[in-house]
Amino acid sequence: MHVLLLSTYDLGHQPFSLASPAAKLRSAGAGVTCNDLAIDALDEEAVKKAGLIGLYLPMHTATRLSVALLPRLKNLNSKAHIVFYGLYAPLNADYLKSIGGDSFIGGEFEDGLIDIYHKLVTGEKPSAIPLISTAKQEFIRPWREDLPSLDRYAHLYVGDGSTKIVGYTEASRGCKHTCCHCPIVPVYQGRFRILPVDIVLADIRQQIANGAEHISFGDPDFFNGPRHAISVVENLHEEFPDITYDVTIKIEHLLKHQELLPKLKASGCLFITTAVESTEEEILRLLDKGHSQADFKRATEITRAAGLTLAPTFVPFTPWTTKEGFLQLLETIAGLDLIENVAPIQLAIRLLIPNQSALLDLTEIQPHLDGYDEEALSYRWRNSDETVEELCAGVQEIVEASAENNHSRRETFAAIYAAALTACDRPSNDLPSLKSAPGVAIPSMSEPWFCCAEPTAEQLARL
Ligand code: SF4
């Protein structure tokens, strides 16, 4: 039986989560095609001959795109068994079933896909009950031969004018924390699973052989298992001393394991993405982030002292955001000299509340909810201060226009800051850091990291 694995969008990376199950399905005897629609057109022949089609749903945007793609798949092949897999599959299983999905797997999905494949081969009907598995699995080296070459994906701007080809892998999945806005939480419930060091290195090795000069680790938090993480990067550095990498680490872990930061620097780490979300203490408490504004400042200092670049991400617009709070966020970023470190889109993000989000358990969210929007696959909410909603819309317009006009991060930040001052009835104020040129070169990806966007017309047209 032929299996087609489809990814619609994976944040500019070559999708590990097609390559990993593809390897296991092939070793179980399946013929497999991997088709990344973020880069290539739909392989209609592969759709027509598939007995099993897997759609990978790692996040909101990919889910929306996969939903839009489904009718075309059904037209081409109405008999194939459709399995949605990835974090968003079990969370949206009822809706995905109503539009024609057959099976739904979240968490550790490779073995679940193999099980469905075996059932179909032997004429058994796979279960339609959503499966969430955090069971330990055996991994084998991902099979990447069928995916577009790495130079067709997002690349790294090193910061000195040069670029690097980026490979992507995962040394762990899930997370031992339970921040209530995070889509990992309803699936992994505070658990994480590591991939063996030799498999991670074998995957990196094959990507370096295919041109990767920098590796992006997609672990939700690289320091969930700090000893494992350090073992991976020290082995990587020993074998490939010129390869650089980036990781994601939460503020709490940066502080708790700060003695490991020099080891990251020494082994080629270029930058660390960290989810700050807010500088309003009450919002950080509601999201259960495990850090304070002071912790953010301290984490900035210690990563800088270790010679590492911090790339903070935010969810600035929530039901509880205040105009003064947003202004304080901007002034904190400027005060910490982080303007160049923040992708402008991070200043425009609105909290996404997907189905089964732990946010729904908060009494504080109830007055803000306005029903579930099935098409948008998320709950509608409003801030009770309409002027915050207006500020959010204004910031989103600034970020969009800046992207169209190729404005710098500093120019975009200045425009957002001016809008926030106006919203707060404050006189214009030229922050000293708005004028100064960046002191150090900041590495960043050519595709900014965010996963809760509406699909773009360009993405939809590719389906
Ligand atoms: S630490 Fe990060 S990955 Fe873990 S639950 Fe919180 S937001 Fe999610």
Ligand 1 atom at shortest distance from the alpha carbon of 178: 5
Distance (Å) from CA 285 to ligand 1 centroid: 14
**CATH, residue 192:** 3.80.30.20
Q: Is 178 helix (H, G, I), strand (E, B) or coil?
A: coil
Ligand 1 atom at shortest distance from the alpha carbon of 289: 6
Q: Which mutation among 175, 181, 278 tests ligand 1's pocket best, with the greatest number of atoms within 8 A of CB? A: 175
Distance (Å) from CA 170 to ligand 1 centroid: 15
Distance (Å) from CA 175 to ligand 1 centroid: 6
Tell whether the model's pLDDT for residue 14 goes beyond 70: yes
Is residue 286 a contact partner of residue 331, using CB atoms and an 8 Å limit?
Answer: no
Residue 63: C-alpha distances to residues 40, 88, 440 (Å): 18, 7, 38
> 3-class secondary structure for 99-149?
CCCCEEEEECCHHHHHHHHHHHHCCCCCCCCCEEECCCCCCCCCCCCCCCC
Residue 453, in any domain of the structure: no
Q: Which mutation among 170, 179, 450 tests ligand 1's pocket best, with the greatest number of atoms within 8 A of CB? A: 179
Tell whether the model's pLDDT for residue 434 goes beyond 90: no
Distance (Å) from CA 128 to ligand 1 centroid: 29
Residue 459, in any domain of the structure: no
Q: How far apart are CA 109 and CA 115, in angstroms?
A: 10
pLDDT score of 263:
98
In terms of domains, do 174 and 127 share one?
A: no
pLDDT score of 462:
77
Distance (Å) from CA 234 to ligand 1 centroid: 24
Residue 291, in any domain of the structure: yes
Cα dihedral 259→262→266→271 (10° resolution): 110
Please, which pLDDT band fits residue 388 given cuts at 50, 70 and 90? very high
Distance (Å) from CA 289 to ligand 1 centroid: 8
List the one residue out of 301, 247, 91, 108 whose CA is nearest residue 191.
108
Q: What is the mean pLDDT of residues 59-64?
A: 93
Q: Which mutation among 134, 173, 177 tests ligand 1's pocket best, with the greatest number of atoms within 8 A of CB? A: 177
Distance (Å) from CA 21 to ligand 1 centroid: 24
> 3-class secondary structure for 209-272?
HCCCCEEEECCCCCCCCHHHHHHHHHHHHHHCCCCEEEEECCHHHHHHCHHHHHHHHHCCEEEE
Distance (Å) from CA 324 to ligand 1 centroid: 26
| pLDDT > 70 fraction of the chain, expressed in percent and rounded | 97
Q: What is the mean pLDDT of residues 410-423?
A: 95
Please, which pLDDT band fits residue 463 given cuts at 50, 70 and 90? confident
Amino acid at 445: M
Its domain, for residue 35, covers 2-133
If you count them, how many residues does the chain have? 463
Nearest CA to ligand 1 atom 8: 182
Q: What is the mean pLDDT of residues 455-462?
A: 77
Residue 141, in any domain of the structure: no
Q: How far apart are CA 408 and CA 249, in angstroms?
A: 26
Q: Which residue has the tokens 């739909």?
A: 42
Is pLDDT larger for residue 462 or for residue 295?
Answer: 295
Q: pLDDT for 70-102, tens place per residue?
A: 999 999 999 999 999 999 999 999 999 999 999
Q: pLDDT for 402-415, tens place per residue?
A: 989 989 899 999 99
Distance (Å) from CA 184 to ligand 1 centroid: 7
Q: Which mutation among 193, 221, 255 tests ligand 1's pocket best, with the greatest number of atoms within 8 A of CB? A: 221
Distance (Å) from CA 250 to ligand 1 centroid: 7
In terms of domains, do 265 and 326 share one?
A: yes
Distance (Å) from CA 185 to ligand 1 centroid: 8
Please, which pLDDT band fits residue 326 given cuts at 50, 70 and 90? very high
pLDDT score of 460:
78
The token pair at 245 is 């990498």
Q: How far apart are CA 34 and CA 42, in angstroms?
A: 10
In terms of domains, do 116 and 60 share one?
A: yes
Tell whether the model's pLDDT for residue 452 goes beyond 70: no
In terms of domains, do 205 and 114 share one?
A: no
Q: Are strands 214-217 and 166-169 parallel, antiparallel or unpaired?
A: parallel
Which stretch of 74-88, 102-116, 346-360, 417-431 has the lowest confidence by average pLDDT?
417-431
Q: pLDDT for 250-299, tens place per residue?
A: 999 999 999 999 999 999 999 999 999 999 999 999 999 999 999 999 99
Paired with 3 in beta bridges are 32, 52
In terms of domains, do 98 and 205 share one?
A: no
Distance (Å) from CA 367 to ligand 1 centroid: 25
Distance (Å) from CA 179 to ligand 1 centroid: 6
Q: Which residue has the tokens 């088709």?
A: 35
Q: Which mutation among 170, 182, 318 tests ligand 1's pocket best, with the greatest number of atoms within 8 A of CB? A: 182
DSSP state of 355: T
Averaged pLDDT score across all residues of the chain: 94
Residue 149, in any domain of the structure: no
pTM: 0.94
List the one residue out of 98, 116, 82, 3 whose CA is nearest residue 49.
3
pLDDT score of 451:
59
pLDDT score of 457:
75
Nearest CA to ligand 1 atom 6: 179
Give the chain's radius of gyration (CA, Å): 22
- Helix pair angle (293-305, 323-335), 10° resolution: 20
In terms of domains, do 232 and 375 share one?
A: yes
> 3-class secondary structure for 4-72?
EEEECCCCCCCCHHHHHHHHHHHHCCCEEEEEECCCCCCCHHHHHHEEEEEEECCCHHHHHHHHHHHHH
Instruction: Report the chain's terminal Cα–Cα distance, integer Å.
Output: 24
Structural domains in the chain (count):
2
Ligand 1 atom at shortest distance from the alpha carbon of 277: 7
Residue 172: C-alpha distances to residues 108, 165, 175, 192, 245 (Å): 11, 22, 9, 7, 15
| pLDDT > 90 fraction of the chain, expressed in percent and rounded | 89
Q: How far apart are CA 231 and CA 304, in angstroms?
A: 23
In terms of domains, do 111 and 180 share one?
A: no
Ligand 1 site residues, Cβ closer than 6 angstroms? 175, 177-179, 182, 184-185, 220-221, 250, 275
Q: pLDDT for 188-204, tens place per residue?
A: 999 999 999 999 999 99
Q: How far apart are CA 175 and CA 380, in angstroms?
A: 26
Amino acid at 175: C
List the one residue out of 237, 412, 425 whose CA is nearest residue 333.
412
Residue 457, in any domain of the structure: no
In terms of domains, do 246 and 355 share one?
A: yes
Tell whether the model's pLDDT for residue 449 goes beyond 70: no
In terms of domains, do 257 and 352 share one?
A: yes
Please, which pLDDT band fits residue 431 given cuts at 50, 70 and 90? confident
Q: Which mutation among 170, 184, 287 tests ligand 1's pocket best, with the greatest number of atoms within 8 A of CB? A: 184
Is pLDDT larger for residue 454 or for residue 298?
Answer: 298
Q: Which residue has the tokens 């990498």?
A: 245
Ligand 1 atom at shortest distance from the alpha carbon of 184: 8
In terms of domains, do 212 and 333 share one?
A: yes
Is residue 221 a contact partner of residue 254, using CB atoms and an 8 Å limit?
Answer: no
Ligand 1 atom at shortest distance from the alpha carbon of 252: 1
In terms of domains, do 301 and 409 share one?
A: yes
Distance of CA 206 to the CA centre of its chain: 23
Q: What is the mean pLDDT of residues 168-184?
A: 94
Residue 463, in any domain of the structure: no
In terms of domains, do 381 and 290 share one?
A: yes
**CATH, residue 41:** 3.40.50.2300
Residue 289, in any domain of the structure: yes
Amino acid at 359: L
Tell whether the model's pLDDT for residue 437 goes beyond 80: no
Tell whether the model's pLDDT for residue 454 goes beyond 80: no
